[in-house]
Amino acid sequence: MTKNDIGRLALESDLVSCQLHQWIDLIFGYKQRGPEAVRATNVFYYLTYEGVVDLSVFDDPTVKQALENQVRHFGQTPAQLLFEPHTPRQSIMTISPLMFKPIMEDLCMIMKFISNSPVVHLSANTYSQLQNPTVVSVTASLCFALNRWNNSFTSNVGSHLSPPGAESSAAQNVPVNLPLTVDPLLAAGNPATPVARRVLGDSLDPHMSVKWNNFVTTADSKYMFVCGYPDHSFRLLETDSARVRQVLYGHKAVVSCLARSECGLSSDCFLASGSRDCTVLLWHWNAKQGLLVGEHASSAESVSPKAILIGHDGEISCIHVSAEHGLVVSASVGGALLIHTTQGDLLRCLRPGGLDFRSPRILLMSRECFIVVCYDDGNLCLFTTSGRLIKHVVTDNNITCMCLSRDGEYFVVGSKEGAVFVYSVLQLTCLHQYCACDSAIKSIALAHNHRFILAGLASGAIVVYNVDFNRWHHEYSQRYTKATLN
């Protein structure tokens, strides 16, 4: 860990951030003037305060010039914005008090689909603002489900792990409180017959293996983008009816992957599509219209990409788009990582210098501009957006999918061996390993409250794990150690 990393951790610690309101009170708030300023020893020369002296009333140019020089050379206090004490920032220890509770079991629940088809994609759109928080799942047979998420669920340790027949008949009549329940439309239908409103329609290219980044959903789960069609298009579907809303063309080969930038529930965002034609196209999603729109078009007509990103020499394998930083990071099979701006300018090429591997398969980028890349044979690399290789480790696992925590400190990994791991971003060290499942992990997602990890299995099940990232935080890990010892 570098000196800059240690300094950042110190400045972002609760010890500092929970006292910010006191600085605000002194500089911009009620302690800037008056008796409170005297009590806080926060009194400055009277000319530094805004509005104390009206220079227009002075006729003597010498006096006026002297006052102006005083202010110019010794400065002014900021404008007073607040006249009441600023509310303190809530500590993570108060808004996330899991560290004071008994440590939860790793496994929360398992939900199995009758089709047994691998769950190749999961989108956990579990925002509390949504009327129906949803976990969208897609299987390799191109059937999808809008599974209901229960945000009011609190971990009931062990209740879901009881053996069959362990509960009394009275207890069995009580509805089970679980975080995830199957799509009501699928639950009410005939298990042997696919529900038309939950089938994606046309088949994908037979030469392409269906994977997690062939699908992208909007934050409200109303729409889904699907790629991989043999006509070189990708499509926008309405999830409620599976109706094709828009067909997008622009690539000269099969579209191999999709990615969406960060966005709110009703805000516009970028959508990036990567193809076997070695290009990445950047599109503009209009949330109000529920369509991809052209750069200068107000409707779905004459839709054209916002930018065409070139420079790769192979099939695009994965993409990350950051609207906040205006960057697009993309990787190609057997090639390097390229960083473009959202305007289409190529910034730099990332290569693990001196290391003998060149096939990036999965990439993540944090808000602090750290890029985690998974190469073949379990190689993990950490880059900065300036192109510097910070760390490289080799894992013993065949990594199939990854997901980054919202704070950018951790990432969750799923493996072909059926295990789920939690890794540190800066150290690339494995912090925790969950018990292995009976089949490979095909997709992975984090609930919005970061209390649960959802893993899609090759056996057609969704496994929900409990997680508390605070237990590995440098400020709180000691509390967990003491709790375990006690």
What does pLDDT average to over the chain?
85
What's the confidence (pLDDT) of residue 475?
Answer: 62
Q: Is the pTM of this model over 0.75?
A: yes
Under the banding of pLDDT at 50, 70 and 90, the label for residue 176 is low
Q: How far apart are CA 2 and CA 206, in angstroms?
A: 48
Q: What is the pLDDT of residues 162-173, one digit of tens each?
A: 333 333 333 344
Kindly state the average pLDDT of the residues 372-399: 92
Under the banding of pLDDT at 50, 70 and 90, the label for residue 90 is low
Q: What is the pLDDT of residues 1-28, one digit of tens each?
A: 667 777 777 777 767 777 788 888 888 8
- Weakest mean pLDDT among 105-114, 380-389, 465-474: 465-474
Q: Which two tokens stand for residue 421?
A: 């791991």
Q: How far apart are CA 331 and CA 362, in angstroms?
A: 8
Under the banding of pLDDT at 50, 70 and 90, the label for residue 84 is confident
Kindly state the average pLDDT of the residues 48-74: 82
Q: What is the pLDDT of residues 397-441, one digit of tens each?
A: 899 999 999 888 999 999 999 999 999 999 999 999 999 999 999
What's the confidence (pLDDT) of residue 63?
Answer: 85
Contact 303, 293 (CB under 8 A): yes
Under the banding of pLDDT at 50, 70 and 90, the label for residue 75 is confident
Domains and CATH numbers, the chain: 19-88 (no CATH), 105-320+393-467 (2.130.10.10)
What's the confidence (pLDDT) of residue 160?
Answer: 40
What's the confidence (pLDDT) of residue 64?
Answer: 83
What's the confidence (pLDDT) of residue 165?
Answer: 37
Contact 149, 134 (CB under 8 A): yes
Q: Which of 443 and 6 is assigned the larger pLDDT?
A: 443
What's the confidence (pLDDT) of residue 29?
Answer: 87
